[in-house]
């Protein structure tokens, strides 16, 4: 990632990245470290994090690691001590997992979130930026999705993220902590976990096509998503933490590219790029999946200066190259 997403000096600023051993969190932490932040502390319980991601960060002297769980308030208080800015990425992702494990999803995503907010208030954090999700749009059918128009939640995961947004607003109102929420739309890229029952679709496709193992597509594959390369998520987190625009705080933003592609189209691009024939297996549609997703990103552009620098196909090629090294 060569793009610079900030114009401030970071060498007098300390950052906490929760979930920083995970996919998006490790990219944010790496950006901050590369750009000379005074301190970048990661807190992670390693449930979804990887030692390999921490190994990338460990080479920077400004890096600190706290192994701990955000469900523990003391851990959160310790992690926030001496920190200026928090970017909260720690969560249990995956709609199917939330349907299977609603209590754990709630404990981590809601209980852990409130702990982090309280710890941030108690440590006088300058700004609290957090990951929400496009899942909060629920059954609202209108495209493109605009931040102020949401429907009924379709999964425990969506509920947990919607509750995060409500808690953030209440904390901003009562405790005067500046908060910014980021509704991610299908973030993908290097370091995304291709293993396990809740693996993301793009790494699964690359792995399956390379290894000639079964690849499953839910439903007819014509459902569309606003696939967003991870570098764009890094950019918006940096801009949200550092913006001087008072009008930009205490709001929620869509984080996407503003273009959508079908799952079948994604599969075809990967297959073509790898130059391999491999027929996917179609199966039942997934419970609680929305049919189409596309973001209106004008709010983030106007108030945060967000400009997606990596479009879908460029990001996809970078991602394929990354996983090719692992699976070839």
Catalytic residues: 157
Give Cβ neighbours of residue 264 (< 8 Å, ≥ 6 apart). 217, 220, 221, 222
Q: Are 110 and 163 in contact (CB under 8 A)?
A: yes
Helix axes 51-58, 23-34, angle to 10 degrees: 0
Give Cβ neighbours of residue 60 (< 8 Å, ≥ 6 apart). 33, 34, 40
Phi and psi based region of residue 303 (left: phi greater than 0; alpha: psi -120 to 50; beta: remaining): alpha
Cα 192 from chain centroid?
A: 10
Listed residue (318, 200, 327, 211) closest to 269, CA to CA? 318
Listed residue (116, 164, 148, 152) closest to 254, CA to CA? 148
Q: Residue 198 has what DSSP assignment?
A: T
Give Cβ neighbours of residue 29 (< 8 Å, ≥ 6 apart). 15, 17, 20, 40, 42, 57, 63
Taking the C-alpha atoms of residue 325 and residue 328, their distance in angstroms, rounded to an integer, is 6
Q: Is 204 helix (H, G, I), strand (E, B) or coil?
A: helix
Question: Which segments of 162-223 are extended strands (E)?
Answer: 179-184, 187-188, 216-218
Three-state SS annotation for 257-304? CCCCEEHHHHHHHHHHHHCCCCCCEEECCCCCCCCECCECCHHHHHHH
């Amino acid at each position: 990632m060569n793009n610079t997403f900030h114009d401030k000096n970071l060498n007098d600023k300390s950052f906490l990245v929760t979930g920083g051993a995970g996919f998006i969190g490790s990219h944010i932490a790496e950006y901050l470290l590369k750009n000379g932040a005074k301190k970048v502390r990661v807190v992670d319980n390693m449930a979804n994090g990887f030692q390999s991601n921490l190994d990338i960060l460990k080479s920077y002297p400004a890096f600190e690691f706290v192994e701990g769980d955000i469900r523990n308030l003391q851990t959160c208080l310790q992690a926030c001590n001496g920190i200026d800015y928090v970017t909260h990425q720690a969560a249990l992702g995956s709609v199917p997992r939330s349907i299977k494990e609603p209590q754990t999803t709630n404990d981590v995503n809601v209980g852990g979130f409130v702990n982090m907010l309280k710890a941030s208030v108690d440590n006088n954090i300058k700004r609290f930026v957090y990951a929400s999700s496009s899942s909060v749009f629920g059954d609202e059918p209108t495209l493109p999705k605009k931040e102020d128009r949401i429907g009924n939640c379709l999964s425990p995961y969506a509920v947990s993220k919607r509750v995060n947004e409500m808690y953030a607003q209440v904390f901003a109102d009562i405790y005067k902590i500046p908060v910014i929420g980021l509704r991610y739309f299908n973030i993908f890229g290097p370091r995304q976990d291709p293993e396990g029952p809740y693996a993301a679709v793009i790494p699964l496709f690359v792995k399956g096509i390379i290894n000639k193992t079964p690849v499953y597509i839910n439903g007819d594959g014509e459902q569309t998503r606003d696939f967003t390369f991870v570098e764009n998520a890094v950019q918006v987190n940096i801009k949200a933490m550092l913006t001087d625009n008072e009008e930009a705080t205490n709001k929620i933003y869509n984080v996407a590219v503003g273009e959508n592609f079908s799952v079948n189209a994604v599969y075809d691009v990967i297959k073509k790029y790898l130059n391999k024939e491999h027929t996917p297996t179609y199966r039942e549609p997934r419970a609680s999946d929305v049919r189409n997703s596309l973001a209106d990103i004008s709010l983030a552009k106007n108030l945060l200066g967000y400009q997606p620098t990596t479009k879908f196909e460029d990001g996809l090629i970078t991602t394929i190259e990354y996983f090719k090294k692992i699976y070839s």
